[in-house]
Amino acid sequence: MAVFISADEAAELVKDGDTIWINAFAAIASPVDLNRAITRRFRRCGKPEHLTIYSAFSFAEWKEDSDIEGYICEGAADCVVIGFFGSLYGTCKAIMENRIEGYNLPGGVMSHMIRASACGASTLFTKIGLNLFVDPRVGGYRLNERSKRELVHLANENGEEGLLYDIPKVDVALLKASFADERGNITFENECASIDCLSVAQATHRNGGKVIVQVARVVNNHMLPRTVNVPAALVDAVVVVPDQKQLTNMDGYYDYICGKYVPTGNILKACREEIGAKIGSTHKRTDLHRAIAKRAVKEIREGQIVNIGIGIPELVAEEVLERGMLDKVHLSVESGHTGGMPLGGMGFGVAIGPDTMMDMARQFDFYEGGGLDLCFIGTMQVDGEGNVNGHMAKGKLTGIGGFANISQTTKKVVFCMTFTSGGLEGSFDGKHVVIKKEGRIQKFVDKVPAKSFSVENSRAIGQKAMFITERCVFELGDEGLILTEIAEGIDLQRDILDRLPFEPKISRELKIMEF
């Protein structure tokens, strides 16, 4: 039966050399108080040491010197294996400065890894990542010179080529939930997603490790079995944190982001404005970004199941809302939501009034099975063949997140990106696009330095792919990119062809972009 202890007492349960799995999705369900307690202990006595940290998605707060990740950056951890680094500023810096080992694996693969661990597996075979940066023949999941471990292997199963991912034995699971009953049964009812809470707890318990959960309070009555996300049988310690936040970077509680209230129409719009102002954005949005979203949303058809990615695709969801399409399509996010209005920025992974919330591994089951009709994904670089780098920029570590799992299997992929970046300025009046100042950074390159999306994989499944910018649209053809649309106000030679390091095919039916 679970014991009820303080956060500092919970930190004492972590031993030298332990492997910790943190259940979180950016700002959602992140056990920040448990992580802070480990930081306090390490600063006080230099223990624990030589930790290995796993997390499918980031778990800090988008700022420098966060004590949520303090122990990782200050010497307690030797190694981190993360799917998406977004909010982990200090950890990214430690990796780029070669102070700790760093590895980047697809977030969905990590989700399936921990579920497989719960049933005793030591490896996971999957095609996700094949011909991408995690493929040993390509290389790139090791993030610095210190990182020498081989975590991914080329394999063959029943005559099919794929990748074999090593699964760790987890010693400590860190979870954040809403309530515990007196026995230690755990519910996530006020959280915006449960992520992989049950799989993480099952895998850790099976390995003889410690499952530690922080909650807002203890309820006296025994919980309804169907509301329990993690049973008391798997829980070793419960830490009560009465003032814990619903989201890492936001004060207050909102019932419409945990599914207790489903707003519609103008009320939903008001809720979105309220929560958006509280959460904040990670990027500045311009008229050119909105032009991309307005063109992209036209690819959606009624009844489709659609994934909304981070970055410019967030604005596609806003367009769906503004055009009254929200009840006619099913927007989804890899955190486990389907339906409702996905948020963006520092609230990525949250949805207002979703129809359903499921464990992340189940969402990726559906995604990887080809269940998505359409996905909108932001990206950093595209080459003339149509290969994409969406996770690695010079001097910046973002991580692949769910990018590979989604883009490798969805029926149609729509990449949303500006033509250049780093100072790009322009105007958009709803019809015409004018480029006033080009960005310093070229988004279209001769060859991408890291593959997040492979043309080879895309063609193998007959996938459709298109690239929407503020000034033109490319589609993936048999021999590379084909220019199919151009915006009014854009000069074909000056604004497009002269700025490409390759020569694209130009459609004989080159169209004017419609927004």
Q: What is the pLDDT of residues 241-282, one digit of tens each?
A: 999 999 998 999 999 999 999 999 999 999 999 998 888 766
CA of residue 293 relative to chain centroid, distance: 20
Tell me the CATH class for 3-240: alpha beta
For the chain, residues classed under CATH 3.40.1080.10 are 3-240, 284-344+356-512
Q: Give the closest residue to 196 by CA, choosing from 174, 181, 214.
A: 174
pLDDT number for residue 220? 86
pLDDT number for residue 283? 67
User: How far apart are alpha carbons 460 and 453 in whole angstroms?
Assistant: 13
Cis peptide before 48 (omega within 30 of 0): yes
User: How far apart are alpha carbons 410 and 453 in whole angstroms?
Assistant: 12
Phi, psi of 381 (to 5 degrees): -145, 150
Mind telling me the catalytic residues? 334
The 10s digit of each residue's pLDDT in 444-472 is 999 999 999 999 999 999 999 999 999 99
Contact 83, 343 (CB under 8 A): no
Angle at the Cα of 145 from the Cα atoms of 142 and 147, rounded to 5 degrees: 45
User: How far apart are alpha carbons 229 and 41 in whole angstroms?
Assistant: 29
pLDDT number for residue 281? 66
pLDDT number for residue 277? 87
User: How far apart are alpha carbons 357 and 19 in whole angstroms?
Assistant: 28
Dihedral sign for Cα atoms in the order 396, 401, 402, 405: positive
Contact 1, 184 (CB under 8 A): yes
Residues of the chain with pLDDT under 70: 281-283
User: How far apart are alpha carbons 180 and 18 in whole angstroms?
Assistant: 26
Q: Give the closest residue to 515 by CA, choosing from 483, 493, 485, 492.
A: 485
Contact 332, 308 (CB under 8 A): yes
Residue type, 403: F
Q: Give the closest residue to 471 by CA, choosing from 483, 458, 457.
A: 483
CATH fold of 284-344+356-512, please? Glutaconate Coenzyme A-transferase (3.40.1080)
For 487-507, give one letter per residue: b (16+ CB within 10 A) or e: bebbeeeebbeebbeeebbeb
Residue type, 103: Y
Calculate Rg over the CA atoms of the chain: 23
The total number of residues shown for the chain amounts to 515
